[in-house]
A and B are shown apart, each in its own frame.
Chain A
Amino acid sequence: MAKRAAPEVNAGSMADIAFLLLIFFLVTTTIPKNSGINRKLPPMEESDEDVIIKQKNIFTILINGKDQLLVEDELMELKNLRKAATEFLDNGGDGSCNYCQGGKDPASSDNPDKAIISLKNDRETSYAVYIAVQNEIVAAYNVLRNRRALQVGSQKGFPGMDFIKMQENYKDVRWTGNKEKLKEVIDQIKLEIPQKFSEVIE
């Protein structure tokens, strides 16, 4: 018998098979986009003690069923909320906050540690507007934290890094820097400008 070469495998349908698999994966999978606004709910336990908070230290936001905003007893547009909240937090009325740059208005908040933002919504409020308001409040805190991070960071050896960048770097495995020191800076800023945010739940 003459030596016969091994027959060539016909690979013409390989592309079809690959396409089939590709289309299967395209249909059954989703690209994960898990991002959102983290919040912590208050625990259920009732405390009998009434905490006394000065009215000037509370920044009240009401959203009614028609998605209108009442901020500190005045009607406000959503786009002005961030600025108003920032001014309230940054006020530094009692002078104990040396990093505040606000107007030191005695009728507004004492310092960022005492300042509380309170949010109340109606059952008829739309979720989109609620999220927009939450977003603006977080943004107001981030504005102040970023500013403070630039000040503290340049002293502690992290120049040109704002708070968001610091947190990103802290989570990033590829970041080559002193993470312990960065954590200290982040914690310090979080302590200096705490997110004191309360929601009224009926």
Chain B
Amino acid sequence: MSKFKKKKDGGLAPINTASLPDIVFMLLFFFMVATEMRLDTLMIKNTLPNADQIEKLEKKNPVSFIFIGKPSSGYEKYGTEARIQLNDKFAEVKDIASFINEERALLREELIPFLTVALKVDKEANMGIVGDVKQELRKVNALKINYMVAPGDVSNNLK
């Protein structure tokens, strides 16, 4: 019996947590460096389709985002059809032109021709609205576009 008692006496040495802040700070710095601030709060469903022949969007050129998708839960009053989201609010097709002009006004003049419009379109959206947006972009001469996709196999798109 005395054997057991002896063990209990020793007890567990307290774990030294002095290096815990260091570890957490390391994680913190990793996330600060590797991520960027969320710019837009999405009010729509935005699951991108898959593709494998992709190019990286070049950082040195200015990029404007247009989101298209069904209103997500909490925004059902905006309907069940795919809608356009510009910055933080829902928009109509006719708002695209003024949005692009606003974006251009923020840029230095020499960068304006390099403005790329990145279309983040939900995979469940129809081409009708995307076609309308493309037509509107042609009207304001914003011709460089990029269909944002998630890396993956295209056969996932057919499900």
Interface residues of A (CB under 8 A from B): 11-12, 14-15, 17-19, 21-22, 25-26, 28-44, 63, 67, 78-79, 121-132, 134-136, 138-139, 142, 201-202
User: Closest chain B residue to A25 by CB distance?
Assistant: B31
Q: Measured between C-beta atoms, what is the minimum distance from B135 to chain A in Å?
A: 6
Interface bracket on B: 35 or more
Are A127 and B57 interface neighbours, CB within 8 A?
no
CB distance from B54 to the nearest CB of A (A): 4
Known A36-B55, A43-B138, A201-B131; judge A126-B126 contact (CB<8 A).
yes
Given the interface contacts A39-B145, A78-B154, A201-B135, does A132 sit within 8 Å of B51 by beta carbon?
yes
What separation, in Å, do the CA atoms of A138 and B154 have in the docked complex?
A: 12
**Residue in B28, B59, B123, B131 whose CB lies within 8 Å of A21:** B28
Q: Return the CB mask of B113-154 against A: 1 if under 8 Å, else 0.
A: 000101001111111101100110111011111111111001
The 5 closest A-B pairs by CB, nearest first: A123-B128, A29-B35, A128-B157, A18-B24, A128-B123
- B19 to nearest A CB, angstroms? 9
Contact yes or no, A36 B141, CB < 8 A: no
Question: Roughly how many angstroms separate A12 CA and B34 CA in the complex, as a whole number?
Answer: 28
* A15 with B24: CB separation less than 8 A: yes
Measured between alpha carbons, how far is A11 from B22 in the docked complex, in Å? 11
Contact of A36 among B143, B146, B154 (CB under 8 A): B146
Cβ contact within 8 Å between B122 and A35: no
- CB atoms of B37 and A135 under 8 A apart: no
Using A15-B20, A37-B51, A41-B138 as known contacts, say yes or no to A131 and B126 having CB atoms under 8 A apart: no
The answer to whether A36 touches B147, judged by C-beta atoms less than 8 angstroms apart, is: yes
Chain A neighbourhood of B121, CB < 8 A:
127
